[in-house]
Each structure stands twice: as structure tokens, then as C-alpha cells.
Structure 1
Amino acid sequence: MPKRLGKFELPTKVVLDEATKTDVYAKFTASPFESGYGHTFGNSFRRVLLSSIEGAAISSVKIDGVDHEFQSLDGVVEDVSEIILNLKRILLVSHKREPVTLLLEIEKEGEITAGDIRPDSNIEIQNPDQVILTTDKKRRISAELEITVGRGFCLGEDLKKENQPIGMINVDALYSPVTLVKYSVENTRVGQMTDFD
């Protein structure tokens, strides 16, 4: 079939599916695209959403009584490596581009969550129920969490600073606020033509 000359068909609207929208998920539909361009645009949008949107993440942590990440703490169920994995699951929004230090200072028995972190006007914690660690007896926990803004993924060793204090543990930072993107392409109709994406 010969290619159509003239107007190049581009999406006239992007529609949000309100029925599936949640705090962490949204489904959008864009149409019509010229035949074959649905995959081109879909893959490009997916790559941009996953790698190029700025976000905030915990990039280093200093826990009182801890010198390295392969240590364990008396009275704490998780070892330091597990605590770091839990810290990486905390979802953050930063209203400041410079690094911000958050403090976790608490004395209790049981689960200690992201909601126990001392509030800061520059940082919003999106999942305050995220468990950081669990104590099996009443004990004091004190930690400093450094929050930085960036794009994509950054290894903890790449975030290491000169003259970094002993006990400061760098954390692999996933800055992207978008963690999963899927797209699908279906045929759609424009007038009498049915070979659009």
C-alpha cells in the first residue's frame, strides 16, 4: 500500500484512565500515531520516564554505634545491610536541590518506620509506614540520613566524598520517582483508515 502524503498524524489528546489511577500508578492513552510510530514513541517515553526525571533519595547514612554495613546492632532484628535496603525503599520528595540531612532519634521497642524520622520542611516522606528496623527490646536508635537530588541510578561508591567521616555509609541511590513503565500499541481508526497506532 502506498504511503499517504500530506498531514503526518500525531496524537490529538492524551487521556488519563481515572478508573485505574492511584497514588503510585496511572494509565494514559495517546492516539492516533502514524502506523509504526506507536512503538517508537512508546519506547522513547519509557526510557525518558525511567532515566531522566529528577528525584530524591537517601545517599548516605550514619548510625550511632555502626562502623560499616556488615555489622549488627545489639537489640535490633535486622543487620545493617538489611536496614540499608529498607532505607532505600523510602519514597521521598525534596523541595530543595541541595543535600538535606534528616535525623532519626527514637527510643522504643518494636518497629521503627520512616514516619519516625524527624520532620523537615524541605522533605516529604511518601510512605511513612515503611519499616526501617525492628528492635526486640527498648533501645535508643540515632541516625543521620543524607538526602540528595539526582537522576537515574547512582552507586554508593560513586557518591563517596573526600574526608567522609568514619561510619558514614554510602547508599546506592535510585533517584527516579518512576520505577516501572509499560506500554502497548493497538490499532486505531482515523476516519476510514484503520492502520493507525
Structure 2
Amino acid sequence: GIVEDVTQIILNVKKISLKLEGADDEVETLEVNVKGPAQVTAGDITADSDVTVLNPDLYIATVAEGATFHMRMTANKGRGYVSADQNKVRDEDMPIGVLPIDSIYTPIERVNYQVENTRVGHKSDYDKLTLDVWTDGSINPSESISLAAKILMEHLDMFVNLTDEAKNAEIMVEK
């Protein structure tokens, strides 16, 4: 009754983009229950109000007439990439028949940068940095740049603190 095979459905499910508002350690349960004939999309996912599907038009599967498609998923907050094997180990109580999949928590889809010569007053030896950031909607581009800058500053701060000369140097006097 379903046109796609399990592998294709899993590949489609991995593209679902969610925003979770609950606690960091909270696991959300999501369900899809569709009777055919119908096309199943991410918008058919039912969950509590803490979960927002950011790409509701994402195609998941096609259900034939007389068939029913039921799928239960779990979602939680995370960072980076977690393989299916790591997800399986993390949830030891996972019943037989549950298929763990990779978790991709990266909200940044694409980044482009451009450095151009620019003029400030009579001086023309300045550079202008332009950043183009595309996200999945769970974070806006400005927030992502701000967070990335904070992470980079914290990583580089230990090098600044190696000498008093570097710590006390004034770099950007004029803003």
C-alpha cells in the first residue's frame, strides 16, 4: 500500500527540519497517521505544541487507496551529527522493530563569503566582508553568526591570555 520502500522513506524523514521548544533533555514523540489515497508530507506530523515542523511541504511517501501509513518517531535537541549506531546505543530500551537513523542537528544549510576592497573617507585600504548565510529556519542567520563569533572568541581567548602584551593591546580603537 506504500509506493516507497523503507530506505526511501528513511531518507525523506532525515530531511525533516524541526524546532523543539522544550527542555534540552526532553524527548518528543511525533506521529504520522494517514489513510490512502494520499501523499504523506512533514505537515502530517502530529506532536505537542513544543514541536514546530519547519518544512511542512517535505514529501515523505505516497499511500495507495485502502492502505494506512502509521509512523512513530522520537526527536530531541542535540548538536552536530549523531550516527544511527550512536542513537541506538544511547537508547538501550529501544524495542525490536525500531529503526534508528542519523541525527543531523546543523541548522546551517549554506554559507558564502566575499571580501572586497572598500573606501572609508580618503583611505582605500580597508576590506569589506560580506557573509551570506542560509539556515533551515530553526535559527535566523544573524543569530547563527553571533553564536559562531562567540564560539570562535572563546576558542581563541586562551591564546590572547598567554602574554600581557597581547592582553592589553588595543586593536579596534575606531569603530
Q: Which residue identity lines up with residue 46 of structure 2 in the other structure?
A: R
Cα distance in 2 between the residues matched to 1:149 and 1:163? 19
Identify the match of residue 56 of structure 2 among 116, 124, 128.
128
Paired residue for 2:105?
Answer: 175
Q: Secondary structure at the match of 1:129?
A: coil
Identify the match of residue 88 of structure 1 among 14, 27, 36.
14
Q: Which residue identity lines up with residue 125 of structure 2 in the other structure?
A: D
1:106 Cα offset (Å): 2.1
Paired residue for 2:82?
Answer: 154
2:68 corresponds to 1:140? yes
1:123 Cα offset (Å): 0.3
1:110 Cα offset (Å): 2.6
TM-score by length of 2: 0.66
Q: Secondary structure at the match of 2:99?
A: strand
Segments ≥4 residues shifted beyond 6 Å = none
Paired residue for 1:38?
Answer: none
Gaps of 5+ in 2: 128-175
**What count of residue pairs does the alignment treat as equivalent?**
123
Cα distance in 1 between the residues matched to 2:77 and 2:124? 45
Alignment root-mean-square deviation, CA: 1.3
Paired residue for 1:195?
Answer: 125
2:11 corresponds to 1:114? no
Gaps of 5+ in 1: 1-74
Cα distance in 1 between the residues matched to 2:93 and 2:81? 23
1:92 Cα offset (Å): 0.8
Cα distance in 2 between the residues matched to 1:179 and 1:138? 38
Cα distance in 1 between the residues matched to 2:112 and 2:101? 28
Q: Secondary structure at the match of 1:83?
A: helix
Q: Which residue identity lines up with residue 108 of structure 1 in the other structure?
A: G
TM-score by length of 1: 0.59
Q: Secondary structure at the match of 1:144?
A: strand
Structure 1 pair 129–138 and aligned structure 2 pair: CA distance change class (3 A): farther
**Percent sequence identity over aligned pairs:** 40
1:167 Cα offset (Å): 1.1
Cα distance in 1 between the residues matched to 2:6 and 2:82? 20
- Answer 1 or 2: which has greater helix percent: 2
Q: Which residue identity lines up with residue 110 of structure 1 in the other structure?
A: A
